[in-house]
Structure 1
């Protein structure tokens, strides 16, 4: 059975990604900062008859937690086929480029960028054991420099300087990672799940968590002819070639 790790999987989009991958036949590890929340999520899935799931305590902003999660999963399997870097934080609603303290930027980057880097590097040996490893970094259309550079763009009635900057940096990391792995079986892509109704958005949005998860899982399941080093935002740009970084 193939295996997958989804970070931030105890609720919201991450939970739905875990559910969808499990339905596709993967054994899914639900990474959760709070272990009890992770256990509750697993019990919910098992109550639906989905038994090929487990949880692991994983705070992506804590290197010791990441190391411990790698060891825990490594004792159970020598191979990881899919890594979905979903865990992320908004950093609050007041994010002025002029007034937001640098410390607030650091906090957001710690999870949204450095957390992804730490988890990816920690699990790389298990991913290399797969014949078709896939990494999906959950990004956002709000990270697009091309879109944000249109200063009167109606898609951005508000700007979130720390959050957008962290996800733009994540996009560049995605490209760099895909480049270094270009001659291997890896496929590495960034995916915007869309404006999704979850706790993260205050239950506002145009997509459900289930719809968002399907957009992400699609790129976790691509074959050897699929793209790598790309950004996809299907809610806003149905044609991938038109997705601006």
Structure 2
């Protein structure tokens, strides 16, 4: 029997509402799991910027044992009562540099939790098409790069997207972020296939990805300079740090 137009419209409306409600309920129910996965992925990125994680490693347990964290302001002062989990780097990136809250992750020795092996700092910037972000790990001298992890939202596959590859990220290991007392970061140069092993502040570029490389350079420079007061406070040893797990 042929149904009226009104019946068809009513049926479609009810079906749409029911499906919408079911999707909303499912989305809300999955939120805790999604958030847990995001947090675990971030912990993995922080740890893997310093050392290689093996397949099957308990990332959450290693993070709990090896990572201590706190938040500083642009003057290098620890923000009491503020935990890194409460800092949204995406939102902080929208603020002027001098107003940002800056998370700090200390990686402590496996054998002695009072010995700091390295520091890991979050990064955020803009590439050719969209946001880029990641972490940089510095040795306890707060100058030597131990590792980096870069990610992107939409850089060109095979070109700018290579910032997320191990081959490109390894170029930064052992480089220096400071020249004397001045932060100069590490600059990715134009062109590819050049040897910068004798230059502490330069790495080889990516063919066809000049704008992404510039975005990467800007991100590193901006964020490392934002932490400059913190670096000085740690070097002078004038500030006691209250650690928040």
Query: One fold, TM greater than 0.5?
Result: no
TM-score under structure 2 length normalisation: 0.32
Structure with the larger strand share: 2
Higher relative contact order (CA 8 A, sep 6+): 1
